[in-house]
């Protein structure tokens, strides 16, 4: 498939008169901005594009990229690199798959773009056989790249779908008894805090919301992947909504009547018990599978990173909250392996993994990204909060002496790059930004936190 399209693209260039290619290249280059604007106007006519497109994003980011794309595919240089153009189309298709842009919308916009170019190019520029050659060249110069994108899109989408299902299965493979008790404890901790605040007369507006508690964060993020039946999650969500938005506000109204206050508190406790029951049925239904885990550290492996980024991006858009990525690298890790041996290096990796799990919250995600690098996805945080967590990780590790075999100890540090999701349609961008910030932290001397 790939070789066939590359050869077809080369043949198209070879069979089209060079002067015509130059004329079309100059024509498209001069009108690139207007053509790009027309392309996105066609896409924005579909209301479904609101999730990943906006007029501001088109104007600031996408239109300039589209102009560059048009100039590249119509490039009439004698040494144009078809292989590089092909690779670019594959990359664009994979990005569209990550963003979730329906491939049919891209194809529709491209089809209308062909019509627009040919209409504006006009019959006065080409007659007879030349006109037919121009039609073929414009149609295939846009059609072949779109076909390459569609092929890459399909492959990436299927891979993502398989990874998403695998992650759902993986989320059930954790030690279910431990996770079940942890979340029962988190729910009980919220209930205990709530009862204490009521007993001490805390103002109703300051009462802790269950949806924003440690349990609420876990449920909305990690826990969401465990629910194959959306009705289960909806049932728990309704109970939480009743507690947070109906019963807790009633506390203020019932302050002066002890009997009413007692009834409201009883209703909240009853609903909390119902949540515990519903959660218990979910855990009982799940099987203990062992997939998708880094063998050494027992963290998530990067196989699921794209799945989590896509999930958090959808949640961010739906709820208006944001998330952050930390890219963490153990400083001078090669020296540890060289001086103490690879077994000691493994011990250090396990120690860092355990520290990360200890510092972050239950709803956050910790991945072994590869080698001595880790990735943390922090949910519902802004850039400053994420940077504070990153600094806490860096400081904690710098203070510790890691025990090694043969009664030896070692101190080590980490460099951290921090980036916050900025609404960009490509979920992978936040990790790329954090990785650039990590590179800056290492360049500036290591053992530091840098923000994108």
Helices 258-285 and 230-241: crossing angle, nearest 10°?
Answer: 160
CB 335 within 8 A of CB 189: no
Highest mean pLDDT among 10-24, 38-52, 325-339: 325-339
Question: What count of other Cβ atoms lies within 10 Å of the Cβ of residue 67?
Answer: 19
Q: Average pLDDT, stretch 39-46?
A: 76
Q: Average pLDDT, stretch 18-39?
A: 89
CA dihedral 17→21→24→26, nearest 10 degrees, is -130
pLDDT of residue 447: 96
Instruction: Report the candidate in 56, 140, 155, 138 with the shortest Cα–Cα distance to residue 103.
Output: 155
Instruction: Report the candidate in 342, 325, 323, 322 with the shortest Cα–Cα distance to residue 333.
Output: 342
pLDDT at 92 over 60: yes
Q: Average pLDDT, stretch 145-170?
A: 64
Q: For tokens 């944001």, name the residue.
A: 322
pLDDT digits (tens, 9 = 90+) for 344-383: 899 999 999 999 988 898 889 999 998 999 999 999 999 9
How far is the C-alpha of 105 from the C-alpha of 213, rounded, in Å? Answer: 40
More confident residue, 269 or 208: 269
Question: What count of other Cβ atoms lies within 10 Å of the Cβ of residue 393?
Answer: 23
Distance of CA 441 to the CA centre of its chain: 23
Indicate the average pLDDT of the chain: 82
Q: Average pLDDT, stretch 97-103?
A: 67
pLDDT of residue 205: 59
pLDDT of residue 367: 93
Q: For tokens 């398989």, name the residue.
A: 162
Q: Where are the domains of the chain?
A: 2-169, 176-285, 300-451
pLDDT of residue 421: 93
pLDDT of residue 289: 39
Please list the residues that pair with 417 across neighbouring strands. 327, 450
Beta strands in 265-323 (DSSP E): 300-301
- Give the CA count within 13 Å in the CB-facing half-sphere of 353: 22
The gap between the terminal CA atoms of the chain, to the nearest Å, is 39
Phi-psi region of 406 (alpha: psi -120 to 50; beta: other; left: phi over 0): left
pLDDT at 256 over 80: no
How far is the C-alpha of 172 from the C-alpha of 283, rounded, in Å? Answer: 8
pLDDT of residue 175: 60
How far is the C-alpha of 420 from the C-alpha of 378, rounded, in Å? Answer: 9
Residue 451 main-chain phi, psi, to 5 deg:
-105, 145
Q: For tokens 């996805």, name the residue.
A: 377
pLDDT at 71 over 80: yes
Question: What count of other Cβ atoms lies within 10 Å of the Cβ of residue 273?
Answer: 13
Fold annotation for 300-451: Alpha-Beta Plaits (3.30.70)
Highest mean pLDDT among 220-229, 289-298, 417-426: 417-426
CATH architecture, range 2-169: Orthogonal Bundle (1.10)
pLDDT of residue 294: 80
Highest mean pLDDT among 52-66, 115-129, 258-272, 340-354: 340-354
pLDDT of residue 249: 84
pLDDT at 224 over 80: no
More confident residue, 291 or 41: 41
Instruction: Report the candidate in 88, 140, 93 with the shortest Cα–Cα distance to residue 114.
Output: 140
The CA R_g of the chain, rounded to the nearest whole Å, is 28
pLDDT at 290 over 70: no
CA torsion sign, 285 to 288 to 292 to 294? positive
CB 296 within 8 A of CB 346: yes
DSSP collapsed to 3 states, 190-250: HHHHHHHHHHCCCCHHHCCCHHHCHHHHHHHCCHHHHCCCHHHHHHHHHHHHHHHHHHHHH
Element spanning 348, H or E: helix 342-359
């Amino acid at each position: 498939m790939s070789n066939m399209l590359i050869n077809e693209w080369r043949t198209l260039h070879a069979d089209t008169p060079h002067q015509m290619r130059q004329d079309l290249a100059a024509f498209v280059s001069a009108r690139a901005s207007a053509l790009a604007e027309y392309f996105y106007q066609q896409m924005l006519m579909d209301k479904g594009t609101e999730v990943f497109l906006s007029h501001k994003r088109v104007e600031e980011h996408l239109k300039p990229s589209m102009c560059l794309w048009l100039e590249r595919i119509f490039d009439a240089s004698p040494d144009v690199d078809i292989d590089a153009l092909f690779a670019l189309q594959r990359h664009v298709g994979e990005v569209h798959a990550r963003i979730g842009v329906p491939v049919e919308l891209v194809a529709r916009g491209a089809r209308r773009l062909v019509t627009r170019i040919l209409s504006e190019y006009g019959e006065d520029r080409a007659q007879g056989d030349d006109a037919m050659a121009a039609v073929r060249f414009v149609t295939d110069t846009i059609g072949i790249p779109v076909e390459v994108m569609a092929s890459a899109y399909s492959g990436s989408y299927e891979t993502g779908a398989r990874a998403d299902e695998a992650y759902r299965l993986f989320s059930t493979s954790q030690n279910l008894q431990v996770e079940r008790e942890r979340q029962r404890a988190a729910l009980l901790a919220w209930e205990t805090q709530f009862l204490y605040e009521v007993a001490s007369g805390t103002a109703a507006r300051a009462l802790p919301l269950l949806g924003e508690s440690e349990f609420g964060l876990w449920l909305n993020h990690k826990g969401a992947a465990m629910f194959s039946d959306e009705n289960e999650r909806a049932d728990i969500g309704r109970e939480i909504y009743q507690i947070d938005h109906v019963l807790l506000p009633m506390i203020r109204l019932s302050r002066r009547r002890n009997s009413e206050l007692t009834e409201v508190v009883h209703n909240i406790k009853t609903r909390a018990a119902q949540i515990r029951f519903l959660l218990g049925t979910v855990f009982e239904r799940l099987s203990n599978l062992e997939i998708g885990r880094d063998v050494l550290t027992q963290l998530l492996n990067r196989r699921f990173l794209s799945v989590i980024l896509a999930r958090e991006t959808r949640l961010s858009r739906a709820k208006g909250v944001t998330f952050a990525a930390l890219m963490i690298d153990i400083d001078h890790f090669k020296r540890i392996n060289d001086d103490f041996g690879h077994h000691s290096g493994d011990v250090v990796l396990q120690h860092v993994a355990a520290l990360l799990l200890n510092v972050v919250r239950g709803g956050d995600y910790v991945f072994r990204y590869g080698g001595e690098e880790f990735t943390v996805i922090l949910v519902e945080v802004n850039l400053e909060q994420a940077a504070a967590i990153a600094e806490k990780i860096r400081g904690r590790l710098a203070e510790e002496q890691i025990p090694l075999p043969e009664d030896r100890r070692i101190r080590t540090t980490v460099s951290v790059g921090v980036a916050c999701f900025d609404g960009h349609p490509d979920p992978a961008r936040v990790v790329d930004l954090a990785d650039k910030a990590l590179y800056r932290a290492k360049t500036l001397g290591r053992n530091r936190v840098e923000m994108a």
